[in-house]
Amino acid sequence: MTTTPNPRPLPLADRVAVVTGATSGIGEATARALAADGAAVALLGRR
């Protein structure tokens, strides 16, 4: 199986992302990916 890169159509610099459920799992991975792409990230979680 081959995969193709998923280009990000929108630049995330100067953007703020709010991620709920960022303690672990998909929420954590999403928050890390957004931050790596330049977004400021607000994290929300119960733990």
Under DSSP, is residue 11 helix (H, G, I), strand (E, B) or coil?
coil
Q: What is the pLDDT of residue 8?
A: 62
Which residue, 32, 25, 27, 26, is CA-closest to 44?
Answer: 27
User: What does pTM read for this prediction?
Assistant: 0.74
Q: What is the pLDDT of residue 38?
A: 93
Residue 34 has pLDDT above 70, yes or no: yes
- What is the pLDDT confidence band of residue 36, given thresholds at 50, 70 and 90? very high
Write the pLDDT tens digit of every residue in 13-28: 999 999 999 999 999 9
**Domain limits, the chain:** 12-47
